[in-house]
Amino acid sequence: MPVATSTARPGGRSARVRAAVHRAVQEFLAGNPAETMTLPLIAGRAGVHPTTLYRKWGTVADLMADVASSRFSGDIVVPDTGSLREDLRRWARDVATDLADPDVLAVMRAAIGSGPQGGCACTADRHAQLTAILDRERARGGTAPETAHAADVLLGPLYYRAIFAGQPADPSWTEELVDALLK
Amino acid sequence: MPVATSTARPGGRSARVRAAVHRAVQEFLAGNPAETMTLPLIAGRAGVHPTTLYRKWGTVADLMADVASSRFSGDIVVPDTGSLREDLRRWARDVATDLADPDVLAVMRAAIGSGPQGGCACTADRHAQLTAILDRERARGGTAPETAHAADVLLGPLYYRAIFAGQPADPSWTEELVDALLK
C-alpha cells in the first residue's frame, strides 16, 4: 500500500473516508432498523471522528441522500443490442435483479424514510439510463416512447412491487412490462 | 364528557390512547425528520407514559406500521357508478389526491423507512378497494383485468411518481392510466 502517496493527496483521504462511511451505513442497515441510525454510530463503525460526519453531511438525511445517489449510480451498464425491445428487456431485468437484493432495499427504504430528496436520489440514474436507451433508438431512425411514459410503465410497477407489495419480480414479468410499453 | 362510562370501558381508554399516539406521530412527522422520532418523544407529545408505548408497540417500526395501516385504511369510499371505467377513474383520482398531501407522504415515507412491513401497510387497503371494484364488474356480467395487473398499471405509476419522482399527479394523467388498463 503506497501510504506516502495517499497521505500526500488530501482528495485521496477524503475519498477513503467517504467510502468507509458509505460502507458503514450499508453494513449498519443490513443488520439494524433504519430509525436507530445516528451519525456517531456510523462514525464509530467507520473509524472516523463524529465531527467529520457532522461537518461533511450535517444530518442522517443528508448522509442517506449521498449514500443513495452513490449506491444507485452507474452500476448498471446500459445494454446495446441493436434492438430497442431487447435493450429494454435486459435493462428491466437488471433493475429487477437489483431490487431483489435485501441490502439494496434496506438502503432504498432508509433513503426514502429520511426525506423527499432521498427517494429521488434512488432513481435519478434509472431515468438517465432509460432516456439513453430511448434516445439511441431515435438516433437509429426508429421511434421510441417518451421517457416519462416509459418510466410509468416500467419503473412504476418494478419499484411499486419492491417497496409496497414486497413481491420479488420474476424475469418473465419484466418482459411483459416491456412488451406492454412497445405494444 | 361521560368520564364514568369511559373509565368503566377499558377498550375506550385504550382506543383513546391509540388515537392520541397516532395523532402525535402525524404531527411530529409534519414538522420533523422521521429519523429523529423516538417512542419517548411521541409519548411526551401524546401525554402518555413511555412504558405504555413500549408495551403496546415495542419499536418505532411497529408503531409506524400500525399508524400506516390505520391511516391508509377505509378513508376512500369505493365509487359505484355502474361503469368500470368511471369507477376506476374516480378511484384513481382519489388516490392521486391523497398522494398529493405532504402530510400523507410524510407518514408514508416514515412507514417505508421503518421496515418492509411499513410499505405494505400503506397499500394493503388500496389493493382491497381495487379488487372490490373489479369484482363488482364481474358480478355485473362484465369482464375485468386481474388485480395484480391493474395494480401494476394504476398503483405502480401513482406511487412511483409520488415517492420516487416527487411529481404531483394531475387528474387527466390518472384518466390516461385507466384508459391504458382498459384499452
The 3 state secondary structure assigned to chain B is CCHHHHHHCHHHHHHHHHHHHHHHHHHHHHHCCHHHCCHHHHHHHHCCCHHHHHHHCCCHHHHHHHHHHHHCCCCCCCCCCCCHHHHHHHHHHHHHHHHCCHHHHHHHHHHHHCCHHHHHHHHHHHHHHHHHHHHHHHHCCCCCCCHHHHHHHHHHHHHHHHHHHCCCCCHHHHHHHHHHHHC
> Chain A contacts of B118, Cβ < 8 Å?
109
Interchain CB contacts (distance < 8 Å): A and B: 114
Identify whether residues B51 and B83 lie together within a single domain.
Answer: no
Contact B113 A164 (CB under 8 A): no
B162, B99 Cβ separation under 8 angstroms? yes
> Chain A contacts of B37, Cβ < 8 Å?
35
Over the stretch A125-177, which tens digit does the pLDDT of each residue have?
899 999 999 999 999 999 999 999 999 999 999 999 999 988 877 878 999 99
> Chain A contacts of B177, Cβ < 8 Å?
152
Over the stretch A82-92, which tens digit does the pLDDT of each residue have?
999 999 999 99
How many domains are contained in chain B?
2
A54 inside domain: yes
Query: Above 70 in pLDDT, residue A3?
Result: no
**Spatial CB neighbours of B119, under 8 Å, sequence gap ≥ 6:** A109, A163, A164, A165, A166, B111, B112
How confident is the model at residue B142, as a pLDDT? 95
Identify whether residues A110 and A35 lie together within a single domain.
Answer: no
Query: Model confidence at A6, in pLDDT bands (50, 70, 90)?
Result: very low
CATH of the domain at A47: 1.10.10.60
Of A31, A58, A85, the residue at which a domain comes to its end is A58
B48 inside domain: yes
Interface of A with B (CB under 8 A): 33-35, 37, 59-61, 105, 109-110, 112-116, 119-120, 122-123, 151-153, 155-161, 163-166, 177
A64 inside domain: no
Ranges A69-73, A171-175, B133-137, B178-182: which has the least confidence? A69-73
Tell me what the mean pLDDT of segment B39-68 comes to: 93
- Between CA B128 and CA B151 the distance in angstroms is 11
What 3-state DSSP class applies to A149?
helix
Identify whether residues B165 and B109 lie together within a single domain.
Answer: yes
How confident is the model at residue B7, as a pLDDT? 43
B100 to chain A, closest Cα gap in Å: 13
Over the stretch B108-145, which tens digit does the pLDDT of each residue have?
998 998 877 777 788 888 999 999 999 999 999 999 99
- Between CA A112 and CA B115 the distance in angstroms is 11
Identify whether residues A119 and A155 lie together within a single domain.
Answer: yes
- Between helix B84-99 and helix B102-113 the angle, nearest 10°, is 80
How confident is the model at residue B69, as a pLDDT? 83
How confident is the model at residue A118, as a pLDDT? 57
- For residue A118, what are the domain limits? 71-182
B63 inside domain: no
B66 inside domain: no
Query: Above 70 in pLDDT, residue A10?
Result: no
A32 inside domain: yes
Q: What is the mean pLDDT of chain A?
A: 87
Cell of B25: 406521530
Query: Above 60 in pLDDT, residue A179?
Result: yes
Query: Above 80 in pLDDT, residue B41?
Result: yes
> Chain A contacts of B163, Cβ < 8 Å?
112, 119, 159, 163
Q: Which residue did the predictor score with more confidence, B77 or B95?
A: B95
How confident is the model at residue A73, as a pLDDT? 75
Identify whether residues A78 and A138 lie together within a single domain.
Answer: yes
For the question of an ipTM over 0.85, the answer is: no
Identify whether residues A76 and A44 lie together within a single domain.
Answer: no
